[in-house]
Amino acid sequence: MLSWALMFLVVALVAAVLGFGGIAGTAVSIAKFIFFVAIALFVISAIMHVVRGRSV
């Protein structure tokens, strides 16, 4: 999922360099959204791992 965020960030940077401001802004917004979703899923996963403990 973080690779998608990185891909949208690269698209945004290329679009910004080429002068496509609207596309660059949209791509940055999408990249931010995907990044925060990935972070939230990581935190939830870490909490679930701690709550469950180690299964033997």
pTM here is 0.69
What one-character-per-residue DSSP string does 11-53 give? HHHHHHHHT-HHHHHHHHHHHHHHHHHHHHHHHHHHHHHHHH-
Q: What is the pLDDT of residues 3-35, one digit of tens each?
A: 888 888 888 888 888 888 888 888 888 888 988
